[in-house]
Chain A
Amino acid sequence: MSVITLKVNGQTHTLDLDPATPLLYALSDDLALRGPKFGCGLGQCGACTAIVNGAAIRSCVTPVSAVAGKEIVTLEGLGTPANPHPIQKAFIDEQAAQCGFCLNGVILTAKAFLDKNPKATEPEIQQALSTVLCRCFTHIRMHEAIQRYAKAVAK
């Protein structure tokens, strides 16, 4: 065990953890955040995604020691039901979910990519989402929601 400082959604937390603990468990268990989710534990599906220093990472395979002190943003760090972030609003407006379990990975992966690549082409967006899964296959609506946000950031 060792003391680790995590900066999550603008707040600093000091946790006593095995430094090899994947970030996901610190976020979802120690900090009880509901955004990041365990999907596969293998970095294959995206459900655990968090944004660290602006880049989407798979928190299920990222040890806490690797992100100590960095700026970590989770889905609940973007906006609230009353005041959602524009990409969250795009998903709400498109009703782009069914069970909603994958939304964390879909929204954060798309946001991190588009914020860095505001002029991304459609094939580039496809590539960015090539290892994100939605098993309800709400793909078409999610694609529409991402396009909405893409248009907004391209302006």
Chain B
Amino acid sequence: MTPDARAALNRRNFLKSAGVLIVGFRMAGGDAAQAQFGQAPLPGAPPMDQVDSWIAIAADGSITAYSGKEELGQGISTAQQQLVAEELSVPFNRVKLIYCDTALTPDQAYTSGSQSHPANFNHGNLAQAGATAREALFKLASQRLGVPIAQLTAANGVISVKGDASKKVTYGQLVGGKKLSVKLDKAAKRKDPREWTVLGKPIARPDMPLMATGQFEYVHNVRLPGMLHGRVVRPPVIGATLISVDESSIKDMPGVIKVVTRKNFVGVVAEKPWQAIQAAEKLKVSWTSGAGLPKQSEFYESLRPQPSRDLKLLDSKDTQQTIATASTTLKSTFYHPYQMHGSVGSSCAVADVQSDRATIYSPTQGVWYQKTASAMITGLKPENVHVIFRRGSGCYGLNGADTVTYDAVVLSQAVGKPVRVQLSRKDEMAWENYGNAWVIEERAGLDARGNIIAWEHESWTPALGNRPGPSTPGNVITGMLLGYQPAPFTPAPAEEPKRYNNGSNGIPSYMMGNVDGVAAGTGVVKSESVIVHNVQSPFWTGPLRSPARLQNTFAHESFMDEMAAHVKADPVEFRVRHLRDPRLIGVLEAAAKAAKWEPRPSPHPSNPKTGVVTGRGVACVAYEGDNGYTGIVVDIELNQDTGKVIVKRIFAGIDVGPVSNPDGLRNQAEGGALQGMSRALGEQVTWDDQKITSVDWRTYHSLPLGIEMPKIECVLMNRPDDEATGAGETSITVMAAAIGNAIFDATGVRLRQIPLTAERVKDALNARA
């Protein structure tokens, strides 16, 4: 174990033995993962007295909080530390936060899907544990001081009598040598956000000085005694299987410990990283030929005729008739490519698999799932597999974190020693679970006054694999090579929708969202249908920041702009006219106000057809229907001679409920907007007839730091009376549409295919009449 991991375990053991007040959650009759996802607790979960607690206050007054939501760079650990400090009325630094270690922390399933803020900052889990602990301490203090609770106040870990500060007791004194277990109380009162002094403040991230000075320990820096280095050898093309490995081809290479083969998995273990890299390159491996890949140029059109598993989100059953009566009908098809997580550091993990147990350091988003899947792969009992999260390079979803952890586990088990594996750039990019490609058709009818009266949305999206979950390691490449199958694909017709669910943002914000007589959507269009055709992908796919929501929003918000232009309406006014959710309208209007938006239809009436022109574009989204709101306006400059687009200014209205850390939220909103810009302007996975060809930073185009930087202004709508929502995926969701709409505003040309490269813009301008 690393010193950090040992210190965390010692701390937990100390808290078990010494005087301590523990707030538990399974004692309250519920399991966090179950509460959140309706899943039963995973097998192999350690017994209650080891992990089932969120907050422990020791006799020395130290406060430790345990969370199942991890720091991936999004700033959530700082916000969680603020949350606990706030509820317990102590300074920020008094709280020690430990997250995502299967021997220590609660099972909160994945850290993903913009769920950490809503899961831990509302009425359950960590927030409610804080409130419960506070009430328990006040009760103890009331007994100790002989004063009613209402007359007590707390600050800096001391509870005192209001008006008589000499009557006081510290948390440590209250805990004393006793062991006090408190059930998580759903009725315990949270502090009013208006009274917050720690939460809600722009507290600096405690990890920042460590990162900026090269002291921070990433998983890449984990070093165990006797640790060896592994390197995997992936197939040369997709679908190839292993014929043979010629171990003698590297027998004279220095430092080589072992060649490991298991089904189609091949890897090398060596004493040092450079030795492992060279050995893997030199190892002679024979593979069958590949399965062949569909032509990229015909890929989108090849999706429609494929067998599909259909999902119907809405169907008012009258869209075709309504469209037939419309004054104006519009139909457009939008195309979104596969895109990569493309972590800047290739994925890395360290595993120490021994004959009867394993310790694994992984940047996985789900330590508990990694535990059970690694148990499957090794044949060990889940309770003997200990997974400790260590931060990797930013992942933005399912990057290579899980797959490289399996690589390390397999190689370590083969040599019986700790093994560190870091993927090559090509192995990271050629085999990751890409963000899904999408073909989206939008059809609508408008009445004589220019109002939308019917809207049909139909989409096709290919998928293969996904997050591995507790028992599907075949959902990622290493599991597949080891012989595990990905989740099966079974074509099936759509069932009628049972309840309104816009988790994928498949439903445009402007639809009524009527299911069984309940209009749960955010818009006003009554005649509505949304159907999704899931088809099989030749490549692995998985969640990439704003999965489905980004692709769908690109189509909805571009199409909305087309309709507004068609009826010569101002794009902001046209949206507001078709919305009925005040929070969504709020962020849209906040962005427009910040941008000093002047109402007029697009395109810009007086732009010339040559040279550099400017344009503006707007888009908005209620992320996952109700999990964070963003309206965005972008101003662009477009060179009509080259097709090059430069985003000059970005104005964002952001509503995530009560703001937990305004600077952290801005950081997420800014980064999301620019990541969205990069994905919109340049990023796409490419392939030939056998393999992926976007395998490094020359072939996959990420906007570097050396660009003309847009100015960004974020308007944060703090809403103390609302629920905390997701905060990390809203701004990225709207950027592609906003930029596409700005291109239209600048030139009158509509682009419907991502990425919006200079070449595509130029081609469209050339085709312009």
Contacts and interface: CB of A to CB of B under 8 A. Distances in A.
A80 B704 contact: no
Nearest to A144: B709
Interface in A72-117: 74-76, 78-81, 84, 88, 91-92, 95, 97-104, 106-107
Contacts of A142: 705
Contact of B667 (A25, A88, A92, A95): A95
Interface string B387-401: 000011110100000
15 contacts: A29-B273, A34-B215, A34-B216, A37-B220, A40-B346, A81-B215, A91-B208, A98-B671, A100-B211, A100-B212, A132-B705, A132-B706, A137-B703, A140-B712, A143-B705
A4 B14 CA distance: 46
Contact of B220 (A25, A38, A134): A38
Contact of A99 (B217, B393, B425): B393
Interface string B664-687: 000110111111011000000000
Given A34-B216, A101-B218, A101-B394, 9 more contacts: A18-B274, A21-B274, A39-B346, A42-B697, A84-B209, A130-B704, A131-B706, A133-B705, A140-B670
Contacts of A70: none
Contacts of A14: none
Nearest to B399: A135
Given A22-B274, A44-B697, A134 B705 contact: yes
B212 A103 contact: yes
B254 A47 contact: no
Interface stretch (B71-79, B410-418, B550-558, B740-748): B71-79
Nearest first, the 7 A-B pairs at minimum CB distance are A99-B73, A35-B214, A100-B211, A99-B394, A75-B214, A130-B706, A129-B706
A38 B420 CA distance: 13
Contact of A1 (B220, B254, B670, B707): B254
A130 B710 CA distance: 16
B362 to A, nearest CB: 15
Interface string B632-672: 00000000000000000000000000000001000110111
A38 B273 CA distance: 11
A28 B682 CA distance: 32
Nearest to B663: A95
Contact of A134 (B213, B344, B392): B344
A154 interface: no
A91 to B, nearest CB: 5
A74 B663 CA distance: 29
A63 B704 CA distance: 26
A75 B73 CA distance: 19
B328 to A, nearest CB: 39
A95 B710 contact: no
Interface in B197-237: 204-205, 207-218, 220-221, 223, 229
A135 B705 contact: no
Interface in A18-33: 18, 21-22, 25, 28-29, 32-33
User: Which of A45, A91, A125, A142 is most buried by chain B, counting CB atoms within 10 A of its CB?
Assistant: A45
B705 A139 contact: yes
B758 to A, nearest CB: 16
Contact of A139 (B223, B254, B345, B674): B674
Contact of B213 (A38, A44, A81): A81
A99 B213 contact: no
Contacts of A132: 704-706
A45 to B, nearest CB: 6
B274 A107 contact: no
Contact of B708 (A92, A126, A141): A126
Contacts of A32: 221, 223
Given A41-B424, A81-B215, A92-B208, A141 B667 contact: yes
A147 B672 CA distance: 22
Contacts of B391: 99
A1 B253 CA distance: 12
A153 interface: no
B422 interface: yes
Number of chain A interface residues as a range? 35 or more
B345 A39 contact: yes
A68 interface: no
A25 B215 CA distance: 17
A136 interface: yes
B342 interface: yes
Nearest to A100: B211
Contacts of A103: 211-212
A136 B671 contact: yes
A5 interface: no
Nearest to B221: A34
B667 A138 contact: yes
A133 B274 CA distance: 24
A149 B707 CA distance: 18
A127 interface: yes
A120 interface: no
B345 A25 contact: no
B455 to A, nearest CB: 32
A128 interface: yes
B168 to A, nearest CB: 33
Contact of B214 (A44, A95, A104, A131): A104
A33 B218 CA distance: 12
B215 A136 contact: no
Interface in B560-577: none
B504 interface: no
Contacts of A95: 204-205, 208, 663, 667
B210 A131 contact: no
A138 B205 CA distance: 14
Contacts of A39: 344-346, 393, 425
Nearest to B676: A137
Nearest to B677: A137
A73 to B, nearest CB: 11
A141 B709 contact: no
Contacts of A102: 344
A140 B697 contact: no
Contacts of A137: 670-675, 677-678, 703
A97 B212 contact: yes
Nearest to B707: A126
A85 B760 CA distance: 45
B272 interface: yes
Contact of B709 (A25, A84, A104, A143): A143
Contacts of A22: 274
A37 B218 CA distance: 10
Nearest to B227: A29
A47 B218 CA distance: 13
Contacts of B208: 91-92, 95, 97, 100
A55 B125 CA distance: 50
Contacts of A126: 706-708
A133 B213 contact: no
Interface in B311-336: none
B65 to A, nearest CB: 22
A53 B210 CA distance: 25
A42 B346 contact: no
A132 B704 CA distance: 6
B425 A41 contact: yes
Contacts of A18: 254, 274
Contact of B704 (A34, A99, A131): A131
A128 B667 contact: no
Contacts of A141: 667, 670
A140 B342 contact: no
Contacts of B425: 39-42, 44
